[in-house]
Structure 1
């Protein structure tokens, strides 16, 4: 089974490889990178950018994708329209992880390092709760230094900082969602130290696509 993942940042490719290697190793993962998708994004998802992403999604199916996933969160709204243009499973970066989150508890912690990502994450979490017919209480944690720590100290530093944030909010939540793909490398460590479940977006995407292709 070929799963094609669409990226706007090269940094999101290693987390996808990690997640699929752990969750869905039998999949043939093809990572398609178009950095222009982010370079040309100026805070607004214009009709031109929507068509462009839709064309990329169509290209993936035309080139033997059995399923398609988006790793670029700002293009998540395109999935609603593009899913009618292809006849293979298509998931956004938020859909699978938020669906898992709302099925596991009501008090859901969200960790992000960028305010825009936090706002989008909260929106899609509430949307998933509405679709599931459940009530949830988002608990937000904006830690703006996380990417700086990752670049300066590597995975060990990221694990240390995320552990601090997860433990700090654990008493107030039923589970924690790592909203950014780049945090996925810390999941194994956090699962060992966190008293509540922790979800990462690429791992949830891998689980969802594995189930859809079963």
Structure 2
């Protein structure tokens, strides 16, 4: 008998983020049925307005309501600019709703890392990521110190391949004094293809938001096997 596949919705603002998030879920949460919604004016309209307006918040909430009415059992907003709307959504719906990089930051803070580096290729991503990370410290890591360094490489945004992107990010990290970081956090989904190459260059773990979100939703939506259940199933298969 096939287990039901959890329906996970993702709301995207850019096609690149949508592709990377889908690849992450295929890798980390293949049990999910993924439902993608793309509104490619979300970022442009926010930029034109100078930030989120009440109208843009209502627009995002309508998109969230649409997937909730459609039976979504989990939701990921891949656009960090609309992360504040998640708090409103959580108060309205009893379904896991994640901000773009929230799971990554929580995983990093829960880990053994003391010095963390946040890397980005666009300037607005740096303060947005830093604000999210610092906001989680009191709840996830109240009793252990954490040192955060940020690095920006705008050259990485136009690099021709993941290897070149990784080299630009590594150079920026070195210039920012973050070469001794224990972990590197990618502030944008668009940097995910360079994750493995960057890890090889810097010699420490590199975490990405989409992969961490997929792992968290998998943990929330897929029941863990009961103690002994896996062994019992194996024994039954052997005796048949």
Q: Which moved more, 1:63-72 or 1:184-193?
A: 184-193
**Alignment check: 8 A CA contact 1:170 1:195 kept:** no
Residues 50-61 of structure 1: matches in 2 within 5 Å?
50-61=57-68
Residues 121-140 of structure 1: matches in 2 within 5 Å?
121-132=129-140, 133=142, 134-140=144-150
Query: Highest Rg: 1 or 2?
Result: 2
3-state DSSP class of the match of 2:91? Answer: coil
- Residue 23 of structure 1 is matched in structure 2 by 28
In 1: Cα distance, 2:214 partner to 2:198 partner: 19
- Residue 63 of structure 1 is matched in structure 2 by 70
Cα distance change on mapping 1:166 and 1:207 into 2, 3 Å? farther
Which of residues 189, 196, 210 in structure 2 aligns to 1:202? 210
- Residue 3 of structure 2 is matched in structure 1 by none
- Aligned pair count reads 211
Residues 75-94 of structure 1: matches in 2 within 5 Å?
75-94=82-101
- Residue 211 of structure 1 is matched in structure 2 by 219
**Alignment check: 8 A CA contact 1:97 1:199 kept:** yes
Alpha-carbon offset, residue 206 of structure 1: 0.7
In 2: Cα distance, 1:20 partner to 1:55 partner: 24
Alpha-carbon offset, residue 80 of structure 1: 0.8
Alpha-carbon offset, residue 100 of structure 1: 1.0
Structure 1 residue ranges without an equivalent (≥5) = none
Whether 2:145 is the aligned partner of 1:143: answer no
Alpha-carbon offset, residue 16 of structure 1: 0.7
Give TM-score, length-normalised by structure 1: 0.91
Cα distance change on mapping 1:167 and 1:208 into 2, 3 Å? farther
RMSD: 1.8
Alpha-carbon offset, residue 72 of structure 1: 0.5
Structure 2 residue ranges without an equivalent (≥5) = 1-5, 223-240
Alpha-carbon offset, residue 30 of structure 1: 1.7
Alpha-carbon offset, residue 167 of structure 1: 6.7
What stretches of structure 1 move > 6 A for 4+ residues in a row? none
Whether 2:80 is the aligned partner of 1:73: answer yes
Which of residues 103, 119, 122 in structure 2 aligns to 1:111? 119
**Alignment check: 8 A CA contact 1:170 1:194 kept:** no
In 2: Cα distance, 1:28 partner to 1:166 partner: 37
**Alignment check: 8 A CA contact 2:101 2:210 kept:** no
3-state DSSP class of the match of 1:115? Answer: coil
